[in-house]
Structure 1
Amino acid sequence: MKRILTYGTFDLLHWGHIRLLKRAKAMGDYLIVAASTDEFVQHKGARASYHSFEVRKAMLEAVRYVDLVIPEASWEQKAEDVRRYRADVVVMGSDWEGSPRFESLRSVCDVEYLPRTEGVSTSQIRKDLLTEAVTFRAA
């Protein structure tokens, strides 16, 4: 059985996330998704997630391509996750290509980067919704 592992926040779950999960699952038999905990999102300095970890976990578990969702609580846990869950490949979006955070895993598994879905991102969705809210309020 070939096990695939991917990481992300998966806030405001959108088509780009679904495409990544579908393509990652097609690379193996079992897809493990490590979703960033709320505390880790704050630690990374990212904007707080709209949905809590528990809600994001439940949404990911509802996606047919996902076999297991685990918490991502730190940058340092990745090599241990690979060992614990016997992952053969870590798959990430191409925006992470060359990052030491994932390149360092090559000593314990394969690492693959998949092209991002053009025209969609959580950051852009947030901006669009804010612009729409401001425009609506001004009208």
Structure 2
Amino acid sequence: MYQHKQYALFIFIILVWIGAFVALAWNLMGADVPLMVFTGILILVAFLFHGLTIRVTDSEISWAFGPGVFGQTLKLADISDVTAVSNSFRHGIGLRITHDGWVYTVSGFSAVQLTMRDGTYYRLGTNDQAALLAALNAKLSLHSET
């Protein structure tokens, strides 16, 4: 089984930058309700999107952000091809749909593209591209032999 978690360094940098302004406002204005609500939202975003975990088992691949939200599980038998790709700035971070299919990423540009038998594409951002690709190719070759 393959499992890897990539931490969202870029998201943390942005949240710390915003948090510095919130801390300054808190210090200058005091703790009012809108500021506390905004602080709560920043903490919630940090918790939900602190990383992306990808797992490959004998029969499926799954991925999810943070504590296991906004993810998906696919059967390996439904995958027709896997390819190492490089995302660009237009792919952004987080979860989105682009002309390249669904994109799940938290940091960096390395990704693995899954091509499904129904024509759907998924791009999974990872800082462990070679190992993820090797794990998927090993499991997919086992499925093609059976």
TM-score by length of 1: 0.26
Give 1 or 2: higher strand fraction: 2
Structure number with higher relative contact order (C-alpha < 8 Å, ≥ 6 residues apart): 1
TM-score by length of 2: 0.25
Give 1 or 2: higher helix fraction: 1
Larger of the two Rg values belongs to structure: 2
